[in-house]
Amino acid sequence: MLKGFVFDLDGVITDTARFHYQAWSKIAQDDMGITINPSVNEQLKGVSRMDSLNVILKFGQRENDFTEAEKEALATKKNDYYVQLISNMTPADILPGIQAFLDQLKAEGYQMSLASASKNAPRILNGLQLTNYFDQIVDPASLHAGKPDPEIFAKGATLLGLKPTEAVGLEDAFAGIQSINGAGEFSVGIGDPAILNEADLNFTSTAEISLDQIKTAFATWAAKQ
């Protein structure tokens, strides 16, 4: 029986990818001499802060040029700039269709948790005025491995007291869909179905999300589990 929803944040609830990109572009250029591009940005989605830095250093062929302490300082500098960029977020930054979807889930009594790799997630939910919708938030600092490892989505369900087969996970990144599937939950992809081709159900954008369609597809999937 469907009892709860485990949400990714960036790209599902709000579009922070552009701010991550803006912050990384500046630090990469100013402090590493690396010019990143949108295809590098794709590789940063869903990936932790330090892993993002490693992706950029590898892209710039500079992976051996910085000490761990220097890398920590670069990641902190990127985050300080990113925090400035997200400091003015308001409910106007919620992606289309999401507020209505969350209201519907709340009205129908579903539990909700957040499974974001971002340590800034509580701050962002606060700016969006969505904190009260979420019963639990997975602390990414508590994880052993990030997406595509199943741990974060598995935890998103167990924190709600749910079995994997009672939960739906929502994601815009391929690594996130792999995490949901690995956790044994029903996966809903938001974005290009050719990229999110392992999702159990796909919507091309948040504006298309339909709880009725999720319920129908979930029932077919659950019958086979």
Is the separation of the CB atoms in 147 and 179 below 8 Å? yes
By beta-carbon proximity to ligand BG6, the closer residue of 15 and 135 is: 15
Tokens of 49: 């802060």
**Following DSSP, what letter does each residue of 92-147 receive, concatenated?**
GGBPTTHHHHHHHHHHTT-EEEE--S-TTHHHHHHHHT-GGG-SEE--GGG-SS-T
> Can 80 be counted among the known catalytic residues?
no
Residue 8, CB-side half-sphere exposure with 13 Å CA sphere: 32
> Can 10 be counted among the known catalytic residues?
yes
Residue of 2, 6, 7, 8 interacting with Mg ion (CB under 5 A): 8
Tokens 């029986």: give the residue: 1
Any contact of residue 115 with Mg ion (CB under 5 A)?
no
Cα angle: 183, vertex 45, 48; to 5 degrees = 75
List of residues contacting ligand BG6 (CB under 6 A) = 9-10, 20, 44-49, 52, 79, 116-120
Q: How far is Cα 183 from Cα 169, in angstroms, rounded to an integer?
A: 10
Residue nearest Mg ion (C-beta atom): 11
**Closest separation between CB of residue 130 and ligand BG6, Å?**
15
By beta-carbon proximity to ligand BG6, the closer residue of 116 and 187 is: 116
Pick the stretch among 5-13, 48-56, 76-84, 130-138 that binds Mg ion (CB under 5 A).
5-13
Pick the stretch among 11-19, 90-98, 142-150, 217-225 that binds Mg ion (CB under 5 A).
11-19
Q: Which does 4 bind (CB under 5 to 8 A by kind): ligand BG6, Mg ion, none?
A: none
By beta-carbon proximity to Mg ion, the closer residue of 166 and 172 is: 172
Q: Which does 172 bind (CB under 5 to 8 A by kind): Mg ion, ligand BG6, none?
A: Mg ion
Taking CB under 5 A as the criterion, which residues in 170-209 touch Mg ion? 172-173
Tokens 């340590």: give the residue: 119
Tokens of 126: 């606060």
Q: How far is Cα 188 from Cα 182, in angstroms, rounded to an integer?
A: 13
- Name the residues that contact Mg ion, by CB under 5 A: 8, 10-11, 172-173
Active site residues: 8, 10
